[in-house]
């Protein structure tokens, strides 16, 4: 099974044992290597597959990216020698009870649904953005009110100053008229 690769992807070489052979594949990621091997189990998490760094072992897989390259792990004689020794045979008249069949594995639990988490985070982000917009609008209104207050206070101060000057002139004229009237 091949893996679709683009020219820009950096390739690494991965290895996993398959019977008396090792299967090598040059792929951009562990996930791509698992796809190339046709495995639906994470062989890396189980410690069955590994990254290969030896240039001699990586040369052929790098020449055929995405293609599984099989290499024998020794000669046939070495492989036979590595097999465990046979168990001693028991007498035929003593029948050994067969072990009960293993209980079927329970179906794996379904992966939890991420949609509620994504919806909650989206709602939180949307609310935070709305709150920022509301605060910005309030800040603009506060700035406009502060400008209006300064303009109003300035206008009022000028008006009071003008009227105070007029009142002082009127007081001075009245005082002068009273002095003149009293004689």
Per residue in 69-102, pLDDT (tens digit) is: 898 876 767 666 666 666 555 555 555 677 888 8
What tens digit of pLDDT does each residue of 48-70 get?
A: 899 998 898 899 999 989 899 89
Model pLDDT, residue 81: 66
Angle at 116 between CA 113 and CA 119, to 5 degrees: 135
21 burial (CB, 10 Å; 0-12 / 13-18 / 19+) is: middle
What tens digit of pLDDT does each residue of 131-176 get?
A: 999 999 999 999 999 999 999 999 999 999 999 999 999 999 999 9
Helices in the chain by DSSP H: which ranges? Answer: 30-37, 55-63, 76-82, 115-182
Model pLDDT, residue 94: 53
What span, in angstroms and rounded, lies between the C-alpha atoms of 1 and 33?
10
Per-residue CA distances from 56 to 52, 53, 114, 182 (Å)? 10, 9, 44, 127
Average pLDDT of the residues in 114-127? 93
């Amino acid at each position: 099974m091949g893996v679709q690769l683009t020219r820009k992807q950096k390739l690494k070489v991965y290895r996993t044992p398959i019977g008396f052979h090792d299967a090598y594949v040059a792929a951009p990621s562990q996930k791509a290597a698992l796809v190339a091997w046709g495995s639906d189990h994470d062989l890396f998490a189980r410690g069955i597959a590994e990254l290969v760094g030896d240039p001699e072992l990586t040369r052929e897989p790098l020449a055929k990216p995405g293609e599984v390259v099989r290499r024998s792990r020794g000669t046939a004689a070495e492989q036979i020698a590595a097999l465990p020794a046979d168990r001693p045979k028991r007498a035929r008249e003593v029948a050994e009870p067969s072990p009960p069949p293993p209980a079927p594995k329970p179906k794996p639990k379904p992966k939890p649904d991420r949609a509620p988490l994504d919806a909650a985070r989206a709602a939180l982000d949307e609310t935070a953005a709305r709150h920022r917009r509301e605060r910005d609008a309030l800040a603009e209104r506060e700035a406009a009110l502060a400008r209006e207050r300064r303009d109003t206070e300035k206008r009022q101060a000028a008006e009071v100053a003008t009227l105070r000057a007029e009142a002082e002139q009127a007081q001075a004229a009245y005082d002068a008229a009273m002095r003149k009237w009293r004689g």
